[in-house]
Amino acid sequence: MPHSEVAYLDFDREQGQAIALASDSLTDLGGPQAGKVAAQARLFAKQLESTLSTEQKSTLQRFRDGLLSALMFRGMPCPTDSPPERLTDISVMARSSRCQYLASRNQVLLALAQHRSFAFDIDNEGQQVRLVGNFKGGGSIPRPDEKPDAEIEISSHAGLQLGPHTEAPYNCSTTASNGHSPAPCALILTARWNPAHEPTHVIPLRGIIERMASLDVLALTSPSFDFTRSDCFARGHGNAGKAVSMLQYNANGGFSLRYNSYRFSLNDNADSAVARAFAAFQEAVNSTRPEMFDLQADTALLINNSRALHGRSIIRDNRRLLVRQFGYSRFAAPIVIAEDPLLVRG
Ligand SMILES: [Fe+2]
């Protein structure tokens, strides 16, 4: 039985072919980082939506309404693409037509879920598409160029274990505040290579919050938490945060939570009730068995960044390469720097 917060959308053969054609076409236009591609992706999504069955539509609608933690798309076969011995230069890899194809497909799927793909100015050099793989070391098998005692950054470009987290920034959800755009509403991941079938972990939060004492939940909404700066932000950009809340009401799905197991701590002003609530939340997360998703090139995983944590174990196979983008739902109000491709202030 799948978790009630997790759903699968299986495309049939014709839908899979239509998605492949759309992804090819967007790749030819330059992929998600090129102008006018977002509008074209929305058009393809609209055409695709008209072919969905009633059951497929209702599954999709649950994600659109903010009621799912994760939606896995399946049935998108693509031609064989054997992994190299190890990942080469990240920028060469990012420009490859195969990565552009997978990113274009992600963009169509985000549009199908009524999310706009975007990038933060302070992260990933303002680029929409992020490659997730062991480019910087820290995996269970060292890269050939890796120095044994070098400090590895905690980011998706390294092979380190990533504990449960939502995506940064952590200042606010849904509506911009104090000069910061909200955290992404969703992220989408697919795999170019995942030969060892290393899973992506998702922890749905609704059950955890519902099982907590009501006053503990209330304490999580108080501005009592600090977070450290994300390693992936551009040098000199993106700050640590002080006295933010973790949880807030959200019209789309009921709540939004921001948390990172290795970055969040109690603010000095937090009282003992908040400390107890924070400990109860962390204990509940740590004792929850994550939902596991084996990403491959014919699948993509859409994660609701407001109601689920995600993470991964340490990377064992250094050929693993995921392609990731962020999405904003129709409810999000970011600080827009450029409309097309959508770039927002972090
Ligand atoms: Fe992440």
Cα 72 to ligand 1 centre (Å): 17
The pLDDT of residue 85: 86
Task: Quote the CA–CA distance of 87 and 94 in Å, as a whole number.
Answer: 11
Cα 326 from chain centre: 6
240 — pLDDT class (breaks 50, 70, 90): confident
For the structural domain made of 6-204+289-344, what CATH number should be given? 3.60.130.10
Q: What is the mean pLDDT of residues 329-344?
A: 96
The pLDDT of residue 216: 98
Cα 163 to ligand 1 centre (Å): 9
The pLDDT of residue 299: 98
The pLDDT of residue 141: 86
Task: Quote the CA–CA distance of 182 and 170 in Å, as a whole number.
Answer: 8
The pLDDT of residue 148: 76
Task: Quote the CA–CA distance of 17 and 88 in Å, as a whole number.
Answer: 30
pLDDT tens for each residue of 183-192: 999 999 999 9
> Do the Cβ atoms of 69 and 204 come closer than 8 Å?
yes
Cα 13 to ligand 1 centre (Å): 31
Cα 168 to ligand 1 centre (Å): 8
* pTM of the predicted structure, to 2 decimals: 0.96
Which of 8-22, 128-142, 165-179, 221-235 ranks highest by mean pLDDT? 8-22
Going by C-alpha positions, the residue among 195, 204, 161, 185 that lies closest to residue 292 is 204
The pLDDT of residue 142: 85
The pLDDT of residue 123: 87
Cα 47 to ligand 1 centre (Å): 31
> Do the Cβ atoms of 25 and 88 come closer than 8 Å?
no
The pLDDT of residue 157: 84
Cα 58 to ligand 1 centre (Å): 27
Whether the per-residue pLDDT at 237 is higher than 80: the answer is no
pLDDT tens for each residue of 37-85: 999 999 999 999 999 999 999 999 999 999 999 999 999 999 999 999 8
Count other C-beta atoms under 10 Å from residue 1's C-beta: 3
Cα 51 to ligand 1 centre (Å): 32
233 — pLDDT class (breaks 50, 70, 90): low
Task: Quote the CA–CA distance of 112 and 324 in Å, as a whole number.
Answer: 16
Cα 14 to ligand 1 centre (Å): 32
Cα 210 to ligand 1 centre (Å): 24
Question: For the CA atoms of the chain, what is the radius of gyration?
Answer: 19
135 — pLDDT class (breaks 50, 70, 90): confident
Cα 312 to ligand 1 centre (Å): 9
Whether the per-residue pLDDT at 8 is higher than 90: the answer is yes
Whether the per-residue pLDDT at 234 is higher than 90: the answer is no
Whether the per-residue pLDDT at 302 is higher than 80: the answer is yes
Cα 272 to ligand 1 centre (Å): 30
Cα 167 to ligand 1 centre (Å): 5
Cα 121 to ligand 1 centre (Å): 17
Cα 344 to ligand 1 centre (Å): 18
> Do the Cβ atoms of 226 and 240 come closer than 8 Å?
yes
Task: Quote the CA–CA distance of 260 and 206 in Å, as a whole number.
Answer: 17
What 3-state DSSP class applies to 264? Answer: strand
Task: Report helix, strand and coil shares of the chain as percent, to nearest 5.
Answer: 25, 25, 50
Q: Round the average pLDDT of the chain to a whole number and report it.
A: 94
Cα 53 to ligand 1 centre (Å): 32
151 — pLDDT class (breaks 50, 70, 90): confident
Cα 188 to ligand 1 centre (Å): 10
Cα 193 to ligand 1 centre (Å): 18
Looking at per-residue pLDDT, the higher value among 118 and 87 belongs to 118
Whether the per-residue pLDDT at 340 is higher than 80: the answer is yes
The pLDDT of residue 232: 65
Instruction: Cite the DSSP H helix spans in the chain.
Output: 13-28, 37-49, 54-64, 90-95, 97-112, 206-211, 214-220, 272-286
Q: Which tokens in the block code for residue 56?
A: 């497929």
Task: Quote the CA–CA distance of 33 and 99 in Å, as a whole number.
Answer: 12
Cα 54 to ligand 1 centre (Å): 32
Cα 161 to ligand 1 centre (Å): 11
Regarding beta strands 70-74 and 6-10, do their DSSP bridges make them parallel or antiparallel, or are they unpaired?
parallel
Cα 166 to ligand 1 centre (Å): 6
The pLDDT of residue 281: 98
* Residue 185 CB partners (closer than 8 Å, separation 6+): 115, 174, 252, 304, 305, 306, 327, 328, 329, 331, 332
pLDDT tens for each residue of 241-286: 899 999 999 988 999 999 999 999 999 999 999 999 999 999 999 9
Whether the per-residue pLDDT at 194 is higher than 90: the answer is yes
Cα 162 to ligand 1 centre (Å): 8
Cα 187 to ligand 1 centre (Å): 8
